[in-house]
């Protein structure tokens, strides 16, 4: 198990190295000279231009710039922002780095239990009115785009009923709407998957065995049946987490939350490429780490998955 985790971590560093190379060259490949953008009115001031190029290290050959970039990533500054002259990238994104994972993880920790609950609830009542009602609701939740849902909730709960703040960040009340918007879609996806897998598992022989030995129905469902649907569900949770990270882009913009998503969008609009690419890098690392966790959870959920044999 430890052996497997180490092996996977080594594999991940390779993924991260590729991400590092791609982000570096992508910044250099985009059309437009950032120094000319910075100079704007002062264009033609050759002395200032040369000084700026030297400050940003853009006067050196590409391999040297690349090594410097690696150094910047390793020392945690991620280089200099083009937009906020004199600031490093880390200064620009530091506050956002705690906000977005907080949003995504809290949404995940709400969506998973709710999704499992509704999925199981519907599956054990398959074919009934309650089941049909839940399916309809879930399809609605999956179909509605998050920006539309956000607008609807703000209109209803903030404007009409004045229960919650319209936007902003800092108080617990300001967390409610953005997290709700983030939760709804993934929750519905998990619930639908859970229902499907549960219906399949409830027909399996070992569920009949559990009932035949007099196990209480609640335990049959939540322990024996749900326990055997967890591997595919956890797989999809890993994928859904990617959706939560990108969902944060929309939600942070709509609710004016200073998270990585909004900083990313602002930096794209302002052509602050070092910031954009650092955020891409961070999301890559975050997403790959979550999926590593998912793979490690497999072993714990299903004893048939033998990591050490796979490694041999």
- Shortest approach of other proteins to residue 4 CB, angstroms? 18
Q: Select 160 or 304, whichever has its Cβ closest to other proteins.
A: 304
Nearer to other proteins, 94 or 216 (CB): 216
> Which residues, 6 or more positions from 36, have their beta carbon under 8 angstroms from its beta carbon?
43
Would you say 94 or 223 has its CB closer to other proteins? 223
What does the angle CA 272 – CA 276 – CA 280 come to, to the nearest 5 degrees? 170
**Min separation Cβ 309 and other proteins, Å:** 12
Q: How far is CA 150 from the centre of its chain?
A: 18
State the nearest-atom distance from the C-beta of 3 to other proteins, in Å.
20
- The smaller minimum CB distance to other proteins, of residues 28 and 219, is found at 219
Q: Pick from 248, 241, 242: which is nearest to 150 by CA?
A: 248
What separation in angstroms does the CA of 86 have from each of 38, 52, 74, 82, 122? 12, 10, 19, 9, 57
User: In this complex, which beta carbon is closest to other proteins, that of residue 61 or of residue 214?
Assistant: 214
* Residue 12 to residues 7, 17, 286, 291, Cα–Cα distance (Å): 9, 9, 11, 10
Write the DSSP symbol of residue 40: G
Q: Cβ 223 to other proteins, closest distance in Å?
A: 8
Contacts (Cβ under 8 Å, ≥6 apart) of 283: 245, 260
CB of 219 to other proteins, least distance (A): 7
From residue 309, give the alpha-carbon distance in Å to each of 4, 35, 232. 10, 55, 21
Judged by the rule CB under 8 A, the positions of this chain that interact with other proteins are 204-206, 208-217, 219, 224, 227-228, 301-304
Q: Where are the beta strands (DSSP E) in 15-64?
A: none
Comparing CB distances to other proteins, the nearer of 91 and 302 is 302
**Distance of closest approach, residue 226 Cβ to other proteins, in angstroms:** 11
- Closest alpha carbon to 122 in 210, 224, 226: 226
Q: Are 262 and 272 in contact (CB under 8 A)?
A: no
CB of 200 to other proteins, least distance (A): 13
Nearer to other proteins, 22 or 301 (CB): 301
């Amino acid at each position: 198990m430890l052996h497997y985790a180490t092996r996977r971590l080594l594999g991940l560093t390779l993924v991260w190295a590729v991400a590092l190379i791609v982000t570096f060259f992508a910044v250099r490949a985009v059309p437009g000279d950032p120094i000319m953008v910075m100079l704007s009115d002062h264009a033609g001031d050759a002395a200032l231009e040369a000084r700026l190029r030297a400050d940003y290290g853009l006067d050196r050959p590409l391999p040297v710039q690349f090594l410097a970039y690696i150094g910047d990533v390793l020392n945690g500054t991620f280089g200099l922002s083009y937009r906020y002259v004199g600031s490093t990238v880390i200064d620009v994104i530091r506050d956002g780095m705690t906000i977005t994972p907080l949003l995504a993880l809290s949404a995940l920790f709400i969506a998973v239990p709710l999704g499992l609950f509704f999925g199981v609830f519907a599956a054990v009542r398959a074919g009934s009115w309650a089941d049909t009602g839940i399916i309809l609701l879930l399809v609605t939740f999956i179909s509605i785009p998050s920006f539309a849902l956000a607008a609807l909730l703000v209109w209803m709960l903030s404007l009409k009923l004045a229960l919650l703040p319209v936007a902003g960040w800092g108080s617990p009340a300001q967390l409610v709407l953005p997290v709700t918007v983030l939760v709804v879609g993934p929750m519905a996806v998990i619930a639908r998957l859970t229902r499907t897998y549960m219906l399949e598992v409830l027909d399996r022989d070992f569920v009949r065995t559990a009932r035949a030995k007099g196990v209480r129905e609640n335990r049959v469902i939540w322990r024996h049946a749900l326990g055997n649907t967890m591997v595919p569900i956890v797989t999809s949770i890993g994928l859904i987490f990617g959706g939560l990270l990108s969902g944060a882009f929309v939600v942070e913009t709509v609710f004016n939350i200073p998270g990585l998503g909004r900083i990313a969008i602002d930096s794209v609009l302002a052509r602050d490429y070092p910031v954009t690419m650092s955020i891409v890098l961070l999301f890559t690392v975050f997403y790959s780490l979550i999926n590593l966790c998912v793979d490690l959870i497999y072993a714990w959920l299903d004893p048939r998955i033998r990591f050490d044999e796979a490694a041999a």
